[in-house]
Structure 1
Amino acid sequence: MSKKIVLLNGSPRKNGNTEILADVFIQGAEASGNTVTKFNVGRMKVTGCTDCKYCFTHLGECAKKDDMQEIYKALYDADLLVLASPVYWHGMTAQLKSVIDRMNVSTAKPMPITDAALLAVYGDTDTEAVEATISHYKAIIKYMGWRDCGIVTQSEVMEKGDISGLSSLAAAKDLGNGIQ
C-alpha cells in the first residue's frame, strides 16, 4: 500500500546538500509508488508557536495565518513525515523547528501520521555533531507515537554539492524505496 509522505526540508539553502539528499529520498519513495509532498520550509514564512492555546479551543486550528496553513493541509493527509535538515549548532534549523513547534495543534486535533524518518547533513568531521539532532528526532517520534523508518546522516558536507557521489545518497534512495 502506498504512503502519503510529507518531507519538510529545513535548509534555507536552495539546491544545497540537504535538498539534494531529500530529492534522492523522494526519487526512491516515488519509485515505490508513494506520493511525496516537499516543503522547503527554510524558505517559507512560518513564525514560531507562541503557546497561545488557540488551537485547544478551536479544534486544532492555529491562530497564526502564514505559510504553515499550506503545510497543515498536507500533514493532515499524511502517513509519514520526513524531517530533513542541515545541522546548525548541533540541532535542526530554526526554520524547521518553528514548523515542528507549530505542529502542537496535533495535540488538539491528531494528525494521521504513523511513521517518520530523518535526513541530516553537517559540515563537521566529528560524527558526534549530529547526535543531538538524532536525539531530538527520537524524542519527537516517541512523544507522537510514530514508528521510525530510518535515519540517514552525512558528515563533512559544507559547500553546495559536497554530498555528490557519497554513500548517503544511496542510503537515502534505499530508505525512500523501502517505504511501503
Structure 2
Amino acid sequence: MATKSDPNSKLIAENRRARFDYHIESDLEAGIVLQGSEVKSLRQGGANIGDSYASVEKGELWLINGYIAPYVQAKTWGHEERRHRKLLVSKRELSRLWNATAREGMTIVPIKMYFNERGMVKIKLGIAKGKKLADKRETSAKRDWDREKSRLLKQSLRD
C-alpha cells in the first residue's frame, strides 16, 4: 500500500550548490524564528537560501542573508526580506557549532528549508569545510564518470 505524503510537509528552498562548494561533515535540523508575513510567503514558495550562511554571534545562532520574498497582502506590516533570522538549536548543539566554526575553521551552510509534518518551518544545516578548485574538478569528474559508467552498463544489458 502506497503511503500518502503529508500535505503539511513541503520543501521550500534548497541550496544545491552547497554540496558542490563544500565537504559536508555532518548536518542538523534547526527551527527558525519567523514573522507571520514570512510564513505566509514561505507557504507560497518565495524563498532563497543559496547565498546564505549561519553564524554563532553573542551566544545565539543566526541565519544571515536568507531571502524570503515579501508577502503582497501584508502591505503595512510586512517584513524585511534579508534580515538576520534567529535559529533555534539546543545548547549542546550550539556549543558544538561554535567549536566547529571558531576552532576548526568550518562553515555552517543551510542545505534546505522545509515544512515538517507538523507544519513548522525547519532548516537543515550542514557543518562544512570549503572545497578547493581541484576538489571541485575531482567531484565533477567523478560524477561524469559515474554517469558514463551507468550509461555503459545499461547499454551492455540491452545488447
TM-score normalised per structure 2:
0.24
Q: Per residue, is there more helix in 1 or in 2? A: 1
Greater strand share, structure number: 2
- Quick check: which has more Rg, 1 or 2? 2
